[in-house]
Structure 1
């Protein structure tokens, strides 16, 4: 029942992420709000990449960021980022569909270079914080990026402010 519930939220929220990524025009990809911020393309690529972390998180006991190969791919076109998202979301969904409720209570941790980045904790806690909430956080940033560049934000939980201006 737990995995079924997580999968339901995952599928619903993946659709919201899809709407957001599809709203990014190529003309906004190089924009960033400050010198220390990611560009829109980098942020969008990161959002798409988080879905690639699901298989190792759902079925492994340790995620080694030191050996993880992050491939941002070609971020010069928004369609490339959306394609990366689609590929990664399929893998993420498959990993959740093959998980068990019992496995959600097994311990998991994140390491890099012999250092513990996230301490051992139940996988369900990692699913919520490291994966799902992490995506939601970055989607919020992307909404600010889109509005800052004069682009329309899609409604993900109902109408958005821009819809009231019509």
Structure 2
């Protein structure tokens, strides 16, 4: 299995759970945040939905300079738009992970803000980190939803909301 094939498989597997989690965001809670230092749900969920775009960006550029290209998140106000944004981002990542890009996976990609360099890593490492960031922020969103008493989907097995606990009839 090539690096590209591996990342495509991982992206496809993680997209299933990410999609389920994003679909649970209540339309009336986009401004809610669990703590003043935390992002609100809009910011967090939008970030998750946009993260797959980094895969195509990494494969088609030598880096990102926030000073030259400041981040302007898509404004999302409802869950249908949120899921649509994720699907668009996910599709872009899928089509960028093609076999003819395998040879560039070891090229260095630089993340910076003007003269300040945040990281210089091989493109494959940045893609791995991007998929990990999706998982990380998805878990944060799961905590947000739990605090709002929204049933959350399982990630790598059933969640507490999905588990069936059989009643011990003999104990009754």
Number of residues of Structure 1 aligned to a counterpart in Structure 2: 164
TM (norm. structure 1) is: 0.90
- Structure 2: gaps (5+ residues): 166-172
Do structure 1's residue 59 and structure 2's residue 64 form an aligned pair? no
Contact 2:4-2:99 at 8 Å conserved across structures: no
Q: For residue 17 of structure 2, what is the aligned residue in structure 1?
A: 16
SS in 2 for 1:128: helix
TM-score, scaled to structure 2: 0.87
8 Å CA contact 1:146–1:153 kept in 2: the answer is yes
Q: CA contact under 8 A between 2:59 and 2:101: conserved in structure 1? A: no
| Counterpart contact for 1:48–1:81, Cα < 8 Å | yes
SS of the equivalent of 1:105 reads coil
Find out whether 1:126 has 2:130 as its counterpart: no
1:98 CA displacement: 5.4
- Shift of the 37–99 alpha-carbon distance from structure 1 to 2, 3 Å rule, reads farther
> How is 1:145-156 mapped onto 2 (pairs within 5 angstroms)?
145-156=144-155
Matched, 1:82 2:83: yes
* 8 Å contact kept, 1:58–1:99: no
1:50-91 Cα distance to aligned partner (Å, 9 max, x none): 122221212222122223353433322121111111111111
What's the C-alpha RMSD, in Å, of the aligned pairs?
A: 1.7
Distance of 1:50 and 1:43 partners within structure 2: 11
Residue 107 of structure 2 aligns with which residue? 106
Matched residues in 2 for 1:146 and 1:165: separation? 20
Is the deviation greater in 140-149 or in 84-93?
A: 84-93
Larger Cα Rg: Structure 1 or Structure 2? Answer: 2
Could you give the per-residue CA deviations for residues 95-147 of structure 1, whole angstroms, max 9, x where no partner exists?
112553221111111112222111x2211111112x11111110110000000
Greater helix share, 1 or 2? Answer: 1
What are the residue-to-residue correspondences of 1:21-32 with 2, within 5 Å? 21-32=22-33
